[in-house]
Structure 1
Amino acid sequence: MKRTNFRWFMAVLIFSITFMSYMDRVNLSVATPTIMQEFGFTKVDIGFLQTAFFLGYALMQIPGGMMAEYFGQRIASTVAVSWWSLFTALTALGSSFTSFVVIRGLFGLGEGPIFPAMNNFIYRWFNRAEKATASSFMLGGAFVGPVFGPAITVGLMLAFGWRSVFIIFGAVGFVLALAWWCLAKNDPRQSPFVNKAEADHIESGMVLSDPKAAKEIAPWKSFITSIQFWAIGLQYFITDYIMYVFLAWLPLYLMEAQGFSLAKMGLAASFPWAALCFVTFFTGFVSDKLIAAGVSKHRARTFFGSAGLLLSGAALYMAAVASTPGANVLWLTISLGSLGFTFNASWAASMDIGGKFCGTVSGWMNFWGNIGGVVAPVATAWIATHYGWQAAILVTAFSSIIGVVCWIAVKPDQEIQRKDIPAGKVSA
């Protein structure tokens, strides 16, 4: 029987959903100068609006992962996409600082479950030698969003005003939620588009839970006492802190510190995100090839994870001291692009060490990442206001050292050991 490849169609749908999730986030950043002028907001005010999103987003990471494990990825993802699309559209109705804070906070709650749920879906729908590549679709969609987001958002703003951006993207989000509900299944064998040959390939080497067994809640006592459980969370705090500095402040930084116009900023701001997307896909492909060739997961994931942070911090330092706008954008592109090594390694490693509880582990990891997202907008705004943009960029650059140290403690070759079962490695 010729094997179907419907799992890769689902990877493209995952790409589309995460693409939309980041388009919805970056829209506020691009519209920030116009919103600041219309409502009289300061940089610190905008920092708090960004933080409201990240706070809601961070709070739903762990519950979102656990919901995906308990209720299934299909329900968790459909509800998440529908929820955030509603509050994306409602952003157009913001009329005061308080209303913007409430709407963006609720928007963050909706986006919270999507990455843990999608990671859980990838764990169940892809062969163990395909997981890093599949993760690159999830991450690549997220990082393509900011590539096209600035230019598309600027175009819509110039043509129809900033409110149109949020209404249009909210509507598209509802379409994607409907597509996911119709096509996604918790078990690939339940899908009419997956034949037996594809299902057998997906499950080759995978240890499956008994479908008749009672549903389990993640073993938090085992997780919370694991060094690598904390290490993967803290390294992702640093990784996301750096990325969210770009997401929240790159458009305004390019206009204020580098003198770009609104139209030129839309183009320049896309280069770092394009590099991040390319490196993420490249890393996923190479990582899976290395593991298929016999290289240990520990070497593949840990090398890429730590090297990405080291390169990102070094390039960010060079961007801070660059003497021309062109050189600044070049180093910013290298810096954010380098994080592609770390992002892919992080999500693949969370599946490696989490096993069937990878939704919870990736939720924990992304929770810490988005605590970085809570801190980054306000901390960067405060440093930039009091000490200038160069100081804000330098602080971000040196934070990468902490993440490199944390990667040393992550051991992707072995799942986090549960205290209620015998020690030993588990294949998945």
Structure 2
Amino acid sequence: MKPSPTPVRHWILAVTTLSAFLMYIDRACLAWMLDSQSFKDEIHLTNDQASHLKSAFFWAYALAQVPAGWLAERFGKRTLMTVLIVLWSAFTALSGFANGVAMLFIARIGCGIAEAGAYPISGSLLSRWAHINWRGFASGVVSLGGRLGFVLAPLITVKVILLFGSWRWAGWAYGLSGLLVAWLFWMAFRETPEEHPGSNEAERALLAEGRTAAPAAPADTKAGGPGYRFPLKAVLRDRSLWMMCFYQMLTNFGWAFVINSMSTYLRDVRHLSEDMNGYISTLTLFIGMFGLLLGGLLTDWLTRKLGLRLGRLLPLSVTRFLSAGMCLACLWADSPWLLAVCLGLMVFSTDSALPAVWAWAQDVGGRNVAPIFGWANMWGNFGAAIQAATAGWLLKTFDKNGDQQELFIACALAFTLAGILSFGINADRKIAEA
């Protein structure tokens, strides 16, 4: 009787998901910290300073994507991911000690740099630790962990602030939690199934099914070797990759409304209390996160039925047009609860394509999954940074009646353009190896 595969791959998926959960709580908590009354009583920021502070994270996060992907291949994912979890947790804790805008900027930039490697590393390790027929679903589960952290961040952050009477406790509590998550990741993860002492031959054979080995590389240039180089020439020549870069940039411009502007919109336009703001924001994101699981199952099913290119392309394209429609629907949402449903469906459709984005990087990346993922994700986060930096300008220039509808229109346009660009993305062709 053949032994059953060991469940190590499930444990690695679980701890990677937990890391994503922590990362998004740390990433999202600032907006609700800045909007709390206890923060405003201690530190006085102008609207421009608050916008630049939110934008600073995304610029740091975006620019550190490719270096983080290179470091992961150069020094190993287990070591680097553990270090990064400790670092972003430390910077989140540092924000709780801030006495002015300068220290807040240092904390957010440091957090952005440290978090930059998390998703490229996660995407790369899933290419080894998830069965090829379940890449989309596994990617959706990890992304769901991030979104769940984002969903609970408003509610948990507001409750922590109200419980302890100070915004500072949110940063401290999240920072301490990161030490436990870093330890769990270090204990659970190994670079490959062959290196893991808890993985048996049956599990290794299962994970090897359907994979084509990456072309052999010289000993000093293999992933993890001292001479590893980012395949810059191949990246610059690949049209499909550039379409994905701009696709992610426009998508994140639209999606970033919920992390950069939603809390302020609910307070200033809808005139909701802090507590109600937290509930509405949580409901919005709770509706949206189910798109990750559905999207993962959908892209895997479509890939089996229609092939790799259409299996990734259809979720990428259709969901962007749906997201644009839901942004416009928000303009006619009269009640806060109806608005939460419309925003939730916008996030739902946006997140439904995220597993296809992750799986695309695993499909085309070869032995360069982490840096390729990081390159595309870098451009995506430029979009979020641009949204944070330009939201205030859009309102100052075009919003004459204070309803902030211009933000929804700009997001709808960005989603529509992303949907058009998606037709140039081809997951069926690997990016040339370095």
| TM superposition shift of 1:73 | 1.2
Per-residue CA deviation, residues 92-132 of structure 1 (Å, 9 max, x unaligned), is 01111112112111111111111101111111112211111
AA at the equivalent of 2:417? I
Structure 1 distance, partners of 2:45, 2:232, is 42
Deviations 1:369-410 (A, max 9, x none): 111121111211222344141112211111112211221111
Which residue does 1:102 correspond to in 2?
A: 106
List aligned pairs for 1:106-145, cutoff 5 A: 106-145=110-149
State the Cα deviation string for residues 221-258 of structure 1 (Å, max 9, x = none).
12211101111111000111222221122122111111
Do residues 189 (structure 1) and 194 (structure 2) align?
A: yes
- The Cα offsets for residues 3-29 of structure 1, whole Å up to 9 and x where unpaired, read as 112111111111111011000111111
Which residue of structure 2 aligns with residue 284 of structure 1?
296
Q: Deviations over 1:252-276 (max 9, x none)?
A: 2111111211111111101221122
SS in 2 for 1:95: coil
Cα offset, 1:36, TM superposition = 4.0
Correspondence 1:167-316 to 2 at 5 A: 167-208=172-213, 213-214=219-220, 215=222, 216-292=228-304, 294-316=305-327
Match of 1:44 among 33, 45, 48: 48
Report if the CA contact (8 A) 2:137-2:296 is conserved.
yes
1:426 alignment partner in structure 2: none
Whether the 8 Å contact between 2:86 and 2:182 is mirrored in structure 1 is yes
- Partner SS, residue 132 of structure 2: coil
Looking at structure 1, the residues matched to 40 and 413 of structure 2 have their Cα atoms a distance apart, in angstroms, of 30
Are 1:62 and 1:363, in contact at CA under 8 Å, matched by a contact in 2? yes
Contact 2:255 2:411 in 1 (8 A): no
Q: Which whole-Å CA distance do the structure 1 matches of 2:41 and 2:150 have between them?
A: 23
Which residue of structure 2 lines up, in the alignment, with residue 410 of structure 1? 425
- Greater shift in the superposed pair: 35-44 or 46-55: 35-44
Name the Cα RMSD after superposition. 1.6
Contact 1:52 1:102 in 2 (8 A): no
SS at match of 2:10: helix
Q: CA deviation at 1:211?
A: 9.2
Name the amino acid aligned to 2:282. Answer: S
Partner of 1:343: 354
Contact 1:306-1:407 at 8 Å conserved across structures: yes
Partners of 2:335 and 2:186 in 1: CA distance: 49
CA contact (8 A) 1:36 1:42 kept: no
Greater mean alpha carbon deviation, residues 32-41 or residues 252-261: 32-41
Match of 2:158 among 154, 158, 161: 154
Mapped contact 1:21–1:111 kept (Cα < 8 A): yes
C-alpha separation in 1, matches of 2:391 and 2:119 = 25
State how far apart, in whole Å, the 2-side matches of 1:375 and 1:97 are: 20
Against the structure 1 CA distance between its residues 315 and 376, is the aligned structure 2 distance closer, same or farther, given a 3 Å change threshold? Answer: same
Tell me, in whole angstroms, the C-alpha distance in 2 between the residues paired with 1:349 and 1:180: 25
Contact kept, 8 Å, 1:68 with 1:120, in 2: the verdict is: no
Cα deviation for residue 351 of structure 1 reads: 1.3
1:381 aligns with 2:392: yes
Q: In the alignment, which residue of structure 1 is the partner of 2:342? A: 331
Report whether the alignment pairs 1:28 with 2:33. Answer: no
SS of the residue 1:154 aligns to: helix
Shift of 1:415: 0.9
8 A Cα contact 1:321 1:390, kept in partner: no
Amino acid of the residue matched to residue 288 of structure 1?
A: D
The CA distance in 1 between the partners of 2:135 and 2:35, in whole Å, is: 40
Deviation at 1:298, TM superposition (A): 1.3
Alignment length (residue pairs): 418
CA contact (8 A) 1:69 1:120 kept: no
Contact map agreement 1:312 1:336 (CA 8 A) in 2: yes
Q: Distance in 1 between matches of 2:336 and 2:229?
A: 51
Partner Cα separation in structure 1 for residue 396 and residue 199 of structure 2? 55
Secondary structure at the aligned position of 1:129 is classed as helix
Contact 2:235–2:431, Cα closer than 8 Å, also in 1: yes
TM-score by length of 2: 0.93
| AA partner of residue 401 (structure 1) | T
Is the counterpart of residue 73 in structure 1 residue 77 in structure 2?
yes
User: What are the ranges of 5 or more consecutive residues in structure 2 without an aligned counterpart?
Assistant: 223-227
Distance 1:322 1:267 in 2: 17
Question: After the TM superposition, which segments of 4 or more aligned residues of structure 1 sit over 6 Å from their partners?
Answer: none
Shift of 1:321: 3.4
Q: How does 1:349-360 map to 2 (within 5 A)?
A: 349-360=360-371
Counterparts of 1:330 and 1:397, CA distance in 2:
16
Identical positions, percent: 24
Following the alignment from structure 2 to structure 1, what is the Cα–Cα distance between the partners of residues 393 and 102?
Answer: 20
User: Do 1:11 and 1:138's aligned partners in 2 also have CA atoms closer than 8 Å?
Assistant: yes
Report the secondary structure of 1:399's partner residue: helix
